[in-house]
Structure 1
């Protein structure tokens, strides 16, 4: 166990004062001024004394997380607590050595959580203080979280995904954080929808899935965290990002197919052009109009205006009968009678 003698003495002195001030109730005092640099160690107080223990050595668990929305959530679980014991919690938000916000609950469940909105507050650390009491016995737990160790990253923004040559390529931007981190600090997880195991990517912002199913629709989402061994920061996963949908067409065009289709279309157009070229030429270059043969007679006449102006109807011919005054004779009489008979029958002079 790593020890810091100076800090340990400082903490011990303060804890003695806490015990004197709180008596047998185990209530916490203001510890923002302690400015402890001892991480992953929990101060445990009992009526018989106090000690520092590693967080991993306790069966009780408690954690605080600061989300991008400025929501501070602290949760705890006391599995070894007697069912008749009473548990209280005091959450203190500190900005250096000044307490700026707090929440105190005198009675809480052994498995529960509490949320504080720290919008408008500057903070550097959070101090959790639990007091578990049963009759005259009590045990107090105190732990300090530093802001950079509880600052949850934002999900990776601007996720782009596309399929090319049967490979699914995914890119994204660095997660947003209140602190600056190098590219080597980030670890990502990619959820591709129906896969049982997430894809884990470290130290890069590119992933390629080879030989994907061309008929499948992919729904992608991502989350991020800080790699504990590389950088100091929050090792809890961020929330999942928004879902990016990648839809693919069932029919994918092959370059050879495109060339063959182009040649086939040109060939069909050429055949149609050869077959109907006469009609096409007539449409594009119409011939000089010429009259039908039935009008040839009118065009050959010298007086061409008769074609445009109809001829006037001819006057009916007048019937003129000349009568000679001659001396009648029997022969002439017979002849005249015969002519009269013909006139009556034919209606005109013979």
Structure 2
């Protein structure tokens, strides 16, 4: 008997259950991209869903719809793509990542390991607010599996939906996926406002990170790197490190992300801060080792030479 984890069993159950829904109904719900902000199927299940539509060339050379369905986001388990490949026909769903940074840069990328090298890509996206469309982008062809744009001053959206078209001879594949923006927000690196070494303690203080969704200090998690040691901090804006060696230099970096619980934060860490160097407070004598060796060996030899000169110096008699 096959025994599998509960979450995996649940994911497979969702895959099979959503697939038996009428393909015609799924195709209609996915067909009009402009209306996807109100498509509850994309975030209806306990696990994230992707909308899939597949078109294949028939025996007459005409591209026709083969099937459409909603499937679980397969990135949760590497064993699921093979199963989904049966449903999609020839091409497994692509693992798409979405990132929105604090400067409103939107970035999409996807894995192409199962896609022919000559495949062509095009994308369009929707910005949604409370189930209503705020913005729809025109379809754009891409030379590579990466798409970047600037959202401008669009600040009143809570979800983003991508429609990715993949085509190569005989196959046209459409994948539609929805994200809650706060879960893909990439914060800026923390900003230090005070960094000092006092006595034998290193003291750090930083500003509250700027997020578009919260100002609650308890929602942020930090990774602090001091030389080769890493510490994880949360729910605070300062940190002190005891037992500091005042003759050493300390290299400090930090990054931040929003906590997934209880704040429903992002999956992405910020970039690291630039390296901050602190110390040393006490300078050690800087003797060059070569000079020290020269002195250690040269002084006895010089003394010996003087003694020899004195011993064998000619004695002049009047």
TM-score category of the 2 structures, normalised to the smaller one: 0.5 to 0.7
1:80 and 2:95 matched: no
Match of 1:205 among 216, 233, 237: 237
Q: Is the 8 A contact 1:77 1:110 kept in 2?
A: no
Alignment of 1:272-287 (within 5 A): none
1:108 and 2:114 matched: no
Match of 1:231 among 263, 268, 287: 263
Q: Is the 8 A contact 1:219 1:245 kept in 2?
A: yes
Distance 1:159 1:91, change over 3 A: same
Match of 1:93 among 127, 148, 171: 127
Match of 2:96 among 62, 83, 97: 62
1:221 and 2:253 matched: yes
Post-superposition CA distance 1:100-133 (Å, at most 9, x none): 3344455324532322323245212111111222
- Which SS does the other structure have where 1:155 is aligned? coil
1:37 and 2:43 matched: yes
Q: RCO (CA 8 Å, sep 6+): is it higher in 1 or 2?
A: 2
Aligned equivalent of 2:194: 160
Distance 1:189 1:117, change over 3 A: same
Aligned equivalent of 2:169: 135
Give the CA RMSD over aligned residues. Answer: 3.6
- Mapped to 2, the partners of 1:91 and 1:204 lie a distance apart of 37
> Post-superposition shift, 1:182?
4.5
> Post-superposition shift, 1:181?
5.8
> Post-superposition shift, 1:50?
2.3
More strand per residue: 2
Post-superposition CA distance 1:23-82 (Å, at most 9, x none): xxxxx4531222553362212222332232224145732122221112222222221111
Distance 1:15 1:183, change over 3 A: same
Q: Is the 8 A contact 2:43 2:49 kept in 1?
A: no
TM-score by length of 1: 0.58
Distance 1:9 1:71, change over 3 A: farther
> Post-superposition shift, 1:244?
4.3
Give 1 or 2 for the bigger CA radius of gyration. Answer: 1
- Mapped to 2, the partners of 1:11 and 1:76 lie a distance apart of 28
- Which SS does the other structure have where 1:31 is aligned? helix
> Post-superposition shift, 1:197?
5.1
Distance 1:11 1:88, change over 3 A: farther
